[in-house]
Amino acid sequence: MAQRRFRPLTWLGGHEMTVLLALACIVAGVWGFALLADEVIEGGTQAFDQKLLLAFRQGPNHAPIGPPPVQEAARDITSLGGTAVLTIVTIIAAGFLALDGKNHMALFVCGSVLGGVAASTALKDVFHRPRPDLVPISVYVSGASFPSGHSMMSAVTYLTLGALLARSQERKRVKAYFLLVAIFLTLSVGVTRVYLGVHWPTDVLAGWTAGSVWALLCWLAARRLQSRRTLEQETEHWETTG
């Protein structure tokens, strides 16, 4: 009788290669965040931050580039990473999952986002980086600058929701749609934070990195819980027509 091969990563559920890639991304993300934070503390990113921040500005008063409608659109987009909007989005997503019969997944989504809020707050308290004072700030802000809370919480919320909602769906196109929308929203919010002058570019990079790591951790946790049938299972039957 043939011996069964030992698969150390199968306890997380699913294919070993997928899990291994996710773990590699988490390690790379943590390492990248640590390097970036170290450079920020030592002032090694100052020239890069100033150059990129000023690239979004024009004229002697360093006003944001583009006409007033573009600036207003940036303020609208940046609000997608605000507490109020992210709370509404999370509630809507959790409600959808609950109506779809995935009550445990709905609770997991809420817990994942709340955990991300706690992580973001803790990181800001640790680094306490001042906000940019190089250009006029176009919107109200509060708290420390590193990492960008809007960027991190956009990644935490949209990427976590995108990954978990994708795992709850059957059709490949729907899965891809959730993930692409999540990535687009995350990137858009981060860019507007620099455009509006409320964050240094490295704040946004750090927020994206930390948020992506958190989203991957939540995704792996969901796989593990689904493999133990604590969370509702991913739909097994994939669409055959593409």
Domain ranges of the chain: 74-233
In degrees and rounded to multiples of 5, residue 58 shows phi and psi of -145, 155
Token pair 């929701």 is found at 161
Residue that is written with structure tokens 């988490």 in the block: 26
Furthest-apart CA pair in the chain: how many Å?
A: 80
Asked whether residue 223 carries a pLDDT value surpassing 70, the answer given is yes
Q: Three-state SS for 54?
A: helix
| Per-residue confidence (pLDDT) for residue 237, from 0 to 100 | 38
Which tens digit of pLDDT belongs to each residue from 102-131? 788 888 889 988 998 899 889 888 888 888
> For 142-201, what is each residue's pLDDT tens digit?
777 888 889 999 998 998 888 777 766 677 888 888 889 999 999 999 999 988 888 889
pLDDT in the model for residue 238: 34
Query: Is 60 exceeded by the pLDDT of residue 239?
Result: no
For 127, counting Cβ atoms within 10 Å of its Cβ (0-12 exposed, 13-18 middle, 19+ buried), the class is middle
User: The whole model's pTM is what?
Assistant: 0.81
pLDDT of amino acid 198: 86
**pLDDT on residue 201:** 92
For position 15, what pLDDT does the model report? 57
Taking residue 142's Cβ as centre, other Cβ atoms within 10 Å add up to 6
Position 189 scores a pLDDT of 93
CB 170 within 8 A of CB 237: yes
Cβ neighbourhood burial of 241 (10 Å; 0-12, 13-18, 19+): exposed
- In sequence order, the 6+-apart residues with CB closer than 8 A to the CB of 237 are 170
Please state the rounded mean pLDDT for residues 188-217: 91
- Average pLDDT of 38-51? 86
The region that residue 100 occupies, defined by phi over 0 for left and psi between -120 and 50 for alpha, beta otherwise, is alpha
- For residue 147, whether the previous peptide bond is cis, meaning omega lies within 30 degrees of 0, is yes
- Average predicted confidence (pLDDT) for the chain: 81
